Amino acid sequence: MNIKIAGGRVIDPSQSLDKICDLYISNGVIAALGDAPAGFVPDSTLDATGQVVCPGLVDLCAHLREPGATHKGSIAQESQAAAAGGITTLVAMPTTSPIVDTPAVAQLIQDKARAAGKTRVLPMGALTQGLAGEQLSPMHALASSGCIAFTNSRRPIRSSLVLMRCLEYAATHDLLVVFQAQDAELAGGCMHDDTTSTRLGLAGIPEAAETVEVARCLMLIEQTDARAHFGQISCERSARMIMEARERGLKVSADIAVHHLLLSDSNVNGFDSNFHVIPPLRSQLDRAGLRQALLADGIQAICSDHQPHDPIAKQAPFAATEPGIAGLETLLSLSLMLVEQDVLELPQLIAKLTWEPAQVLGIQAGTLAPGAPADICVFDPAAHWTPSAATTRSGGANSPFMGMELRGQVTHTLLGGTTVFQR
Amino acid sequence: MFEHNDPNRIQLNSNGQLRHFLTTEGLSRELLTEILDTADSFVDMGAKQIKKMPLLRGRTVVNLFFEASTRTLSTFELAAKRLSADVLNLNISTSSTSKGETLKDTLMTLEAMHSDMFVVRHADSGAAHFIASQVTPHVAVINAGDGRHAHPTQAMLDMLTIRRHKGSFEPLKFAIVGDILHSRVARSQIHALRTLGACEIRVIAPKTLLPRHIEAMGVKVFTDMRQGLKDVDVIMMLRLQKERMTSALLPSESEFYKLYGMTTEKLAYARPDAVVMHPGPINRGVEIESAIADGPRSLILDQVTNGIAVRMAVMSMAMSGQMVEKQLQQSASAAH
């Protein structure tokens, strides 16, 4: 099967490429860019004139809700949502029920994802058994069963000794450890601790809830020489600490959820539970600092931190609602606002959504280099659309961006050369 | 992005009249004054032999209390009865309810009984806003305390008590003392006092009981009673929950009393004609000395009396605001 994607603006940061050219796919693999390979006869041609052709997006954090919470979302539904959002690889969190601390659960998730066939799902394994923060999980067995990295999610590992052992063991097998840094006691509130929380009387989560844990993790990463990544940081101070650690030579990286680059704690004014997220939306100063860090390469990736919910989960007083935003379908469009607001150039943004997150994971993805799997996102940068509960493919319509006109819309998503989404 | 209108607009009908009473924040000075004037007229009525008036006759008021309360619940009940409403009291312990779902379900069940007004107390900040956003049109919601957010009828009864004693707000300096962090009363008092033109508002507490950047609400922050009470006209004490001692916020009740308890000695720091208020129930020997609570400068019992009048005022005003809104909508749809 030969496919030609003709006339699009091809942006591939892995090759520092940004030009209008044709792209050739043969048997599910990128065959060539620009000139057709010898003897190439396309079976089909996709006219991408006026559109951007880039690698399929790599999303470092998504909650698929299966197994265990299929009233909120399922692997099949969320995979469809991912495909509609141009995401061809996503990392699924281990906080399912049962938790991903046995190879069987990791296998189950991958089997279901393969059956859905819309996006590549890479499960993350639990760092400790049952995420209880006490015993090491069977990391080697989990990695052999397809777990791409290991995290304790936001569940605490109170003992620094246990945390150090986790890092040492992961380093033994060169496995990536992902931290969603949060001090459990300091993070007891439901929004950023500042003037808005004070006025609304909502219990605050101070910056220290994140920075204290980032600092502890960094010291132990340094001690153990482990490979680690900080997911969804929310404070400028965390970004600076991680950047300094990188400069010292630590093998660390970081990502941020797109909503933390666009919103701030003042949006909670009015108790709208769609703005209830963990880590909480921080101050406008944090948002500005995090945008700077993105530009200064202190943050490698932008993710969706997709957390679909059933409607009832958000229908309660603010603190009693479940945190999280469903974001697979809007990841690209929301990220494009950063280009519109002159934070990043388009190729820089694409890098944060494709090549750089793939590098964090150490996988062959997020690239259009010849020989790579033809995971491709084609989007119309000028198209306007409005996400709505009626049209979302995800199990959750919980997003403050529902009903808001966005710019930039995915038109085609290819997974290994197969069209998995087409508008 | 998300330049929402003022979320507190939900309290007003299209004519700008009260239709819910959720917070003192964002309400105009005229409206707060109207509440005080209306309440004033009810205070005098309470002293008469026949205390009932028919403003809510035929209406059903549901007191929906998810937190234990004696004083607030009984004054709301009495207020509704004096307005001739039918009253249903529901005490629902939050510990037995699962998150959110039950609140919405409870609400839907009660709505099916054709209630006209909900008086709500709930442990979560924003609960009254949530309920107001969910109820059928023309059902009024009165906030009887939501988490740490607001307790607007308490604040307004305090304002009424102050006005009846001091005449006006402008020349006065106020000090709110104690557990500001957890206090919905303090937040509602601060908004009301600012709108009514108070000369100066202070909060006095140890740093563990001060919310972050409370100064952004327009108050001066003190951690020392001698400095904080200097030249103050009105001292508003807050209630201190026992569990603050066990959650590492305070070392002991006795240390708190020594530093922040209202004693004769500390009262002398304030102006000679300063008065002392407390929303009750009081912890004698923890927040306040008995000699002061029962003394001539205490307004604590006046607050209770005025509480009934203020609750009658906001209930009748909100019900009338809902009726006006209903008529406006009916005439608007008739015009179409």
- Least CB–CB distance from B217: residue in A199, A202, A203: A199
Which three-class secondary structure state does DSSP give residue B44? helix
Q: Given this model, what pLDDT does residue B248 score? A: 87
B2 assigned to some structural domain: no
- Asked whether residue B129 falls in the same domain as residue B191, the answer is no
∠ CA A55-A405-A323, rounded to 5°: 80
Label residue A167 by pLDDT band (50, 70, 90). very high
User: Which residues in chain B touch residue A404, judged by CB atoms under 8 angstroms apart?
Assistant: 1
**Nearest CA to B129 among A269, A404, A198, A311?**
A269
User: Which residues in chain B touch residue A270, judged by CB atoms under 8 angstroms apart?
Assistant: 4, 7, 129
Q: Given this model, what pLDDT does residue B241 score? A: 82
- Asked whether residue B121 falls in the same domain as residue B234, the answer is no
A321–B100 C-beta distance less than 8 A? yes
A319–B216 C-beta distance less than 8 A? no
Structural contact between residues B310 and B45, judged by C-beta atoms closer than 8 angstroms: no
Q: Given this model, what pLDDT does residue B3 score? A: 63
Q: Which candidate in A305, A310, A375, A380 is catalytic?
A: A305
- Asked whether residue B156 falls in the same domain as residue B138, the answer is no
Residue-wise pLDDT for B100-128, tens only, equals 457 888 888 888 888 999 999 999 999 99
- Asked whether residue B18 falls in the same domain as residue B124, the answer is yes
The structure tokens listed for A210 are 């994140």
Structural contact between residues A260 and A281, judged by C-beta atoms closer than 8 angstroms: yes
User: Which residues in chain B touch residue A200, judged by CB atoms under 8 angstroms apart?
Assistant: 125-126, 149
Q: H helices of chain B, where?
A: 29-46, 71-82, 101-111, 127-134, 152-166, 184-195, 225-229, 243-246, 253-260, 264-267, 290-293, 300-335
Q: Given this model, what pLDDT does residue B68 score? A: 84
B260 assigned to some structural domain: yes
pLDDT above 90: residue A214: yes
Quick one: closest CA in A to B151, which residue? A201
A313–B147 C-beta distance less than 8 A? no
Structural contact between residues B123 and B67, judged by C-beta atoms closer than 8 angstroms: yes
* Domains of chain A as residue ranges with CATH: 2-52+374-381+404-422 (2.30.40.10), 56-361 (3.20.20.140)
B184–A317 C-beta distance less than 8 A? no
A318–B25 C-beta distance less than 8 A? no
User: Which residues in chain B touch residue A283, judged by CB atoms under 8 angstroms apart?
Assistant: none
How many domains does chain B fold into?
2
Residue-wise pLDDT for A315-333, tens only, equals 999 999 999 999 999 999 9
- Backbone dihedral angles phi then psi of residue B200, each to the nearest 5 degrees: -155, 140
Q: Given this model, what pLDDT does residue A327 score? A: 97
Q: How many CB atoms lie within 10 A of CB A43?
A: 10
Q: Given this model, what pLDDT does residue A313 score? A: 93
Quick one: closest CA in A to B6, which residue? A270
Four-residue CA torsion sign, B163, B169, B171, B176:
positive
B127–A200 C-beta distance less than 8 A? no
Residue with tokens 């909480």: A280
pLDDT above 70: residue B206: yes
User: Which residues in chain B touch residue A193, judged by CB atoms under 8 angstroms apart?
Assistant: 212
B1 assigned to some structural domain: no
Quick one: closest CA in B to A270, which residue? B7
Residues linked to residue A373 through DSSP beta bridges, in sequence order = A29
Query: Is A319 an interface residue toward B (CB < 8 Å)?
Result: yes
Q: How far is B201 from chain A (nearest CA, A)?
A: 15
Query: Is A313 an interface residue toward B (CB < 8 Å)?
Result: yes
Residue-wise pLDDT for B283-336, tens only, equals 999 999 999 999 999 999 999 999 999 999 999 999 999 999 999 989 888 887
Quick one: closest CA in B to A402, which residue? B2
- Asked whether residue B193 falls in the same domain as residue B83, the answer is no
For all residues of chain A together, what is the average pLDDT? Answer: 97
Residue-wise pLDDT for A53-101, tens only, equals 999 999 999 999 999 999 999 999 999 999 999 999 999 999 999 999 9
Q: Which residues contact B265 (CB under 8 A, 6 or more apart)?
A: none
Quick one: closest CA in A to B130, which residue? A317
Which residues constitute the domain of residue B195? 152-298
Interface-testing mutation among B4, B8, B20, B99, with chain A (most A C-beta atoms within 10 A)? B99
Rg (CA), chain A: 21
**Nearest CA to B76 among B116, B120, B43, B113?**
B120
DSSP one-letter code for A137 = -
Average pLDDT over residues A127-147: 98
Residues linked to residue B298 through DSSP beta bridges, in sequence order = B276
- Asked whether residue B80 falls in the same domain as residue B169, the answer is no
Query: Is A202 an interface residue toward B (CB < 8 Å)?
Result: yes
Distance CA B322, CA B252 (A): 48
What percentage of chain A has pLDDT greater than the value 90? 99
Query: Is A71 an interface residue toward B (CB < 8 Å)?
Result: no
- Asked whether residue B180 falls in the same domain as residue B241, the answer is yes
Q: Given this model, what pLDDT does residue B32 score? A: 98
Query: Is A265 an interface residue toward B (CB < 8 Å)?
Result: no
Q: Given this model, what pLDDT does residue B81 score? A: 96
**Nearest CA to B199 among B226, B172, B178, B175?**
B172
Residue-wise pLDDT for B35-46, tens only, equals 999 999 999 877
A201–B149 C-beta distance less than 8 A? yes
Q: Given this model, what pLDDT does residue A173 score? A: 97
CA A116 from chain centre, in angstroms, equals 20
- Asked whether residue B269 falls in the same domain as residue B253, the answer is yes
- Asked whether residue B173 falls in the same domain as residue B242, the answer is yes
Interface-testing mutation among A202, A268, A271, with chain B (most B C-beta atoms within 10 A)? A271
Quick one: closest CA in B to A317, which residue? B127
User: Which residues in chain B touch residue A267, judged by CB atoms under 8 angstroms apart?
Assistant: 2
- Least CB–CB distance from B148: residue in A201, A316, A400: A201
Query: Is A285 an interface residue toward B (CB < 8 Å)?
Result: no
pLDDT above 70: residue B197: yes
B146–A317 C-beta distance less than 8 A? yes
Cα diameter, chain A: 69
Rg (CA), chain B: 20
Structural contact between residues B16 and B279, judged by C-beta atoms closer than 8 angstroms: no
Q: Given this model, what pLDDT does residue B35 score? A: 98
B24 assigned to some structural domain: yes
- Asked whether residue B246 falls in the same domain as residue B330, the answer is no
B141 assigned to some structural domain: yes
Label residue B5 by pLDDT band (50, 70, 90). low
CATH number at residue B233: 3.40.50.1370
Pairing status of strand A44-47 against strand A29-33:
unpaired
∠ CA B83-B280-B237, rounded to 5°: 125
Q: CA distances (Å), B179 to each of A139, A166, A410, B289, in order?
A: 48, 42, 53, 17
Interface of B with A (CB under 8 A): 1-2, 4, 7, 25, 99-101, 103-104, 122, 124-127, 129-130, 134, 146-150, 184, 187, 211-214, 216-217
Residues linked to residue B91 through DSSP beta bridges, in sequence order = B65
User: Which residues in chain B touch residue A313, judged by CB atoms under 8 angstroms apart?
Assistant: 100
Query: Is A204 an interface residue toward B (CB < 8 Å)?
Result: yes
Query: Is A196 an interface residue toward B (CB < 8 Å)?
Result: no
Whole-structure pTM over 0.90, yes or no? yes
Structural contact between residues B306 and B160, judged by C-beta atoms closer than 8 angstroms: yes
A313–B125 C-beta distance less than 8 A? no
Q: How many CB atoms lie within 10 A of CB A315?
A: 18
Between chain A and chain B, how many beta carbons pairs sit less than 8 Å apart?
95
Distance CA A308, CA B332 (A): 40
Q: Given this model, what pLDDT does residue B244 score? A: 75
Q: How far is A317 from chain B (nearest CA, A)?
A: 5
The structure tokens listed for A77 are 């539904």
B7–A198 C-beta distance less than 8 A? no
Q: How many CB atoms lie within 10 A of CB B67?
A: 20
Q: CA distances (Å), A296 to each of A244, A283, A293, A300, B244, in order?
A: 12, 20, 5, 10, 44
Q: Is A305 a catalytic residue?
A: yes
Structural contact between residues A3 and A42, judged by C-beta atoms closer than 8 angstroms: yes
Distance CA A392, CA A310 (A): 13
Q: Given this model, what pLDDT does residue B334 score? A: 86
Q: Given this model, what pLDDT does residue B319 score? A: 96
Distance CA A214, CA A380 (A): 38
Residue-wise pLDDT for A22-40, tens only, equals 999 999 999 999 999 999 9
**Nearest CA to B58 among B332, B324, B335, B323?**
B323
- Asked whether residue B132 falls in the same domain as residue B166, the answer is no
B25–A269 C-beta distance less than 8 A? no
Distance CA A292, CA A315 (A): 35
Residue-wise pLDDT for B281-292, tens only, equals 899 999 999 999
- Least CB–CB distance from A198: residue in B25, B147, B211: B211
Query: Is A266 an interface residue toward B (CB < 8 Å)?
Result: no
Q: How far is A289 from chain B (nearest CA, A)?
A: 19
Q: Given this model, what pLDDT does residue B94 score? A: 55
Which stretch of A60-69, A199-208, B72-81, B239-248 has the lowest confidence by average pLDDT?
B239-248
pLDDT above 60: residue B12: yes
User: Which residues in chain A touch residue B7, judged by CB atoms under 8 angstroms apart?
Assistant: 269-271
Interface-testing mutation among B66, B107, B125, B134, with chain A (most A C-beta atoms within 10 A)? B125
B315 assigned to some structural domain: yes
Residue-wise pLDDT for A377-415, tens only, equals 999 999 999 999 999 999 999 999 999 999 999 999 999
B101–A270 C-beta distance less than 8 A? no
- Asked whether residue B178 falls in the same domain as residue B115, the answer is no
Structural contact between residues A286 and A299, judged by C-beta atoms closer than 8 angstroms: no
DSSP assignments along B139-195, one per residue: -EEEEEEETTTB-HHHHHHHHHHHHHHHS-STT-EEEEES--TT-HHHHHHHHHHHH
Distance CA B307, CA B41 (A): 13
Label residue B49 by pLDDT band (50, 70, 90). confident
Q: H helices of A201-256, where?
A: 208-224, 236-247
Label residue B97 by pLDDT band (50, 70, 90). low
Q: Given this model, what pLDDT does residue B69 score? A: 85
User: Which residues in chain B touch residue A317, judged by CB atoms under 8 angstroms apart?
Assistant: 100, 103, 122, 124-127, 129-130, 146-147
DSSP assignments along A254-288, one per residue: EEEEHHHHH--GGGGTTT-GGG--SSPP--HHHHH
Average pLDDT over residues B51-60: 91
The span from the first CA to the last CA of chain B, in angstroms, equals: 34
Average pLDDT over residues A365-376: 98
Q: How far is A198 from chain B (nearest CA, A)?
A: 6
Q: Given this model, what pLDDT does residue B4 score? A: 60
Exposure string for A191-228, b = 16+ CB within 10 A, e = fewer: bbbbbbbbbbbbbbbbbebbbbbbbbbbebbbebebbb
Structural contact between residues A281 and A192, judged by C-beta atoms closer than 8 angstroms: yes
